[in-house]
Amino acid sequence: MKSHMSGAGSARRAERAGVVEGAVRAILEAVGEDPAREGLLKTPERVARMYAELLSGYAEDPALVVGDALFSCEGDDLVAVCGVPYASLCEHHILPFVGVAHVGYLPRGRVIGLSKIPRIVDIFARRLQVQERLTQEIAAAIEGVSGARGVMVVLEGEHACASLRGVKKPGVKMITRAARGDFEGDEGLRRAFLEQVRLARP
């Protein structure tokens, strides 16, 4: 049964890749290029593989990724994981935006294995996104899988849609924030987390 399901999954992936390859060929022709010339011959296949990698988050579930990597702890003080690099694709132009995520949470008797925080960030970054929603989704997922008393997430991002096209302003940084649970109504907690972020910067 498992091999049958695996075979069906492979067939679906191949079908989706074929659709992307066809679309890339159509784009190349629409901009006046020849998809059959040597330099572009394998471009549709490469682009299909790229999208499969950069948009792999749709197939992942944070609860399954974390699994049993939740560990008992006696303390309930702030846990901060800062400077997590991420790369995502803006849903408006399918151009990249990149930056770092800072995650803080207040444990409720359990802490998340350290490596799982960047994995959760990647799950949602590897989807078509806007930074505002990405920030909220990361916070909601960490709250959901850990049962934390509070979660706060700050994302810094630089967007190619602002640096390469439109206003063409490289170096502009967008900062978004999500606060849940105890962080929502406690300015002192929010300041404490932001201080941890400041201290973690080079």
Where in the sequence numbering do the catalytic residues fall? 90-93, 131, 159, 161
| DSSP H stretches of helix in 106-155 | 116-125, 131-146
Alpha-carbon span 80 to 77, nearest angstrom: 10
Give one DSSP letter per residue of 58-74, joined into a string. Answer: GG--HHHHHTT-EEE-S
Give one DSSP letter per residue of 17-61, joined into a string. Answer: HHHHHHHHHHHHHHTT--TTSGGGTTHHHHHHHHHHHHTGGGG--
Among the listed residues 13, 8, 120, the one whose alpha carbon sits nearest the alpha carbon of residue 57: 120
In sequence order, what are the beta bridge partners of 110? 72
Among the listed residues 74, 73, 108, 104, the one whose alpha carbon sits nearest the alpha carbon of residue 183: 104
Three-class SS state of 112: strand
